[in-house]
């Protein structure tokens, strides 16, 4: 048996993530092979999906990725699983432009059913016209069932079930509120701490005790084996080493990006927090993350800071995104206005003071090369007026935005988390892995 379904909601804050984590863990505990996916560009939810399923989660995004790529990677990972579960993004039809990139678009593209989770804490029979609208707005979206969240009593649920009966969507039950499975507030994404494993286990039990898992399985169909992803042609000799920052400060990556890097070089990992020696590598990738939560440790590791600065000065290719970019600046300033010295490759400062959210899809254009990514941060930059930048950056609606891609020697840095796994390596080399000099170190 191989089944797949997508958990979506009419609107945000309905409990999609808690439900996803709990169901993933329940199936895993029953001996199923589970594969988690996430609609959209979120690189934090996937960390928690991976914890719940004990298997890496995969992003599916029809804005950042060609549709053929989405189909290909979904098929590649779901074929080795019994249950594939995709968590949706925002409301069912919410996309970057209309429904582009929405949960509904992903469900249609992959031909998989949708299970709705509805926050019905302040709603009764009025849910009927809402469900009717969701069901009929796009008949190609197969809504196979509804789970009602935050419902306290059987009498309340009776109104909701009657609404389902009238609309013709199966009701799979209701989940009462439970503070023990409440997910803590998040900084940029879901909170990460040592108690989260207990929350997932409790969510699995609470959900399974209150909804019909067997009915859920009956409502979703078996998946078909589709196209396999084409292997990437090796274009960089395996003697070329790519060093990737990975620790509690730098962890926001897309799995397929890392897999892509593994096809073109020897990938090794290092920690800017804990390691005192930078690996001898021709390429360095400083991923995004939470450097602002580890400022003292990052700043105190002067040996690592000095070696990264020296690598940049001698022409090693370095690519940094968001948190990695912040780390390459002169200082990061925390919410209390305390400045912590960083690497100093770029004469800029980033600050968490007076936090203001900047987010959205980004299309980056260098000459004939286009790569999509996503920007999501609360910090702001100062002192960057004299820094060279490259390329142009546009929103999903085609409007040019002021986000910069900073350059120095062979160093490239920006707030954007790029998704390059769908790009032909021969063309992406013109940016990510093409040097302006021949001074890079090979191993």
CA geometry: angle 239, 241, 242, nearest 5 deg: 150
Helix 45-53 with 196-208: angle, nearest 10 deg: 70
Q: Tell me if residue 440 falls in helix, strand or coil.
A: coil
* Structure confidence at residue 439 (pLDDT): 38
Q: Look up residue 34 and give its two tokens.
A: 């589970």
Counted residue by residue, the chain has a size of: 443
- Tell me which residue of 222, 230, 181, 234 sits closest to 204, measured CA to CA: 181
pLDDT at res. 292:
94
At residue 425, the pLDDT reads 66
Outline where 301-428 has alpha helix (H). 302-313, 323-328, 425-428
Residue ranges with strand state E in 61-107: 83-87
Q: Which secondary-structure segment (H or E) carries 251? A: strand 250-252
Token pair 């995969």 is found at 58
Q: What positions carry a catalytic annotation?
A: 322
CA distances in angstroms from 14 to 19, 84, 201, 289, listed in the order given:
9, 21, 20, 26
> What is the per-residue pLDDT for 219?
87
Burial of 90 (0-12, 13-18, 19+ CB in 10 A): buried
Backbone φ and ψ of 138, nearest 5°: -140, 95
Q: pLDDT value at position 399?
A: 97
- Burial-class residue 438 by CB neighbours within 10 Å (0-12, 13-18, 19+): exposed
pLDDT for the residue numbered 2: 86
pLDDT in tens for each of the 443 residues of the chain?
Answer: 689 999 999 998 899 999 999 999 999 999 999 999 999 999 889 999 999 999 999 999 999 999 999 999 999 999 999 999 999 999 999 999 999 999 999 999 999 999 999 999 999 999 999 999 999 999 999 999 999 999 999 999 999 999 999 999 999 999 999 988 887 655 444 445 555 888 999 999 999 999 999 899 988 877 664 444 455 454 545 658 999 999 999 999 999 999 999 988 899 999 999 999 999 999 999 999 999 999 999 999 999 999 999 999 999 999 999 999 999 999 999 999 999 999 999 999 999 998 888 999 999 998 778 999 999 999 999 999 999 999 999 999 999 999 999 999 999 999 999 999 998 766 555 455 554 543 333 43
Q: What is the pLDDT of residue 443?
A: 35
Two tokens, residue 255: 């799995």
């Amino acid at each position: 048996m191989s089944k797949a379904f997508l958990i979506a909601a009419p609107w945000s804050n309905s409990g999609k993530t808690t439900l996803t984590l709990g169901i993933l863990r329940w199936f895993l505990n029953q001996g199923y092979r589970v594969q988690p996916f996430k609609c959209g560009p979120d690189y934090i939810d996937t960390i928690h999906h991976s914890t719940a399923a004990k298997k890496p989660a995969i992003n599916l995004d029809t804005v950042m990725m060609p549709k053929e790529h989405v189909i290909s990677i979904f098929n590649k990972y779901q074929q080795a699983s019994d249950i594939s579960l995709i968590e949706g993004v925002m409301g069912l039809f919410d996309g970057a432009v209309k429904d582009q990139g929405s949960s509904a678009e992903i469900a249609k593209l992959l031909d998989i059913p949708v299970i709705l989770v509805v926050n019905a804490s302040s709603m009764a029979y009025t849910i009927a016209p809402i469900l009717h609208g969701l069901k009929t707005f796009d008949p190609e979206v197969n809504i196979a069932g509804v789970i009602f969240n935050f419902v306290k009593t059987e009498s309340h649920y009776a109104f909701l079930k009657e609404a389902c009966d009238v609309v013709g969507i199966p009701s799979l039950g209701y989940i009462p509120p439970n503070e023990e499975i409440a997910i803590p507030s998040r900084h940029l994404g879901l909170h990460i701490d040592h108690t989260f494993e207990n929350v997932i286990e409790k969510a699995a039990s609470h959900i399974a005790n209150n909804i019909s898992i067997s009915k859920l399985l009956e409502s979703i169909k078996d998946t078909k084996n589709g196209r396999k992803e084409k292997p990437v042609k090796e274009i960089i000799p395996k003697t070329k080493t790519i060093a990737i920052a990975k620790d509690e400060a730098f962890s926001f990556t897309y799995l397929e990006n890392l897999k892509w890097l593994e096809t073109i070089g020897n990938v090794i990992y290092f920690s800017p927090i804990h390691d005192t020696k930078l690996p001898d590598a021709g390429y360095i990738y400083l991923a995004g993350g939470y450097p602002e939560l580890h400022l003292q440790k990052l700043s105190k590791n002067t040996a690592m800071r000095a070696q990264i600065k020296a690598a940049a000065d001698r022409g090693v290719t370095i690519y940094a995104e968001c948190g990695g970019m912040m780390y390459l600046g002169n200082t990061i300033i925390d919410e209390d206005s305390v400045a912590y010295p960083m690497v100093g490759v770029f004469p800029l400062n980033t600050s968490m003071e007076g936090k203001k959210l900047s987010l959205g899809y980004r299309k980056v254009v260098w000459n004939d090369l286009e790569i999509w990514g996503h920007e999501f941060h609360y910090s702001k930059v100062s002192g960057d007026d004299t820094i060279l930048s490259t390329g142009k950056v546009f929103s999903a609606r085609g409007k040019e935005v002021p986000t910069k891609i900073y350059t120095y020697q062979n160093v490239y840095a920006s707030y954007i988390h790029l998704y390059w796994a769908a790009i032909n390596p021969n063309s992406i080399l013109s940016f990510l892995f093409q040097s302006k000099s021949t001074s890079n170190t090979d191993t």
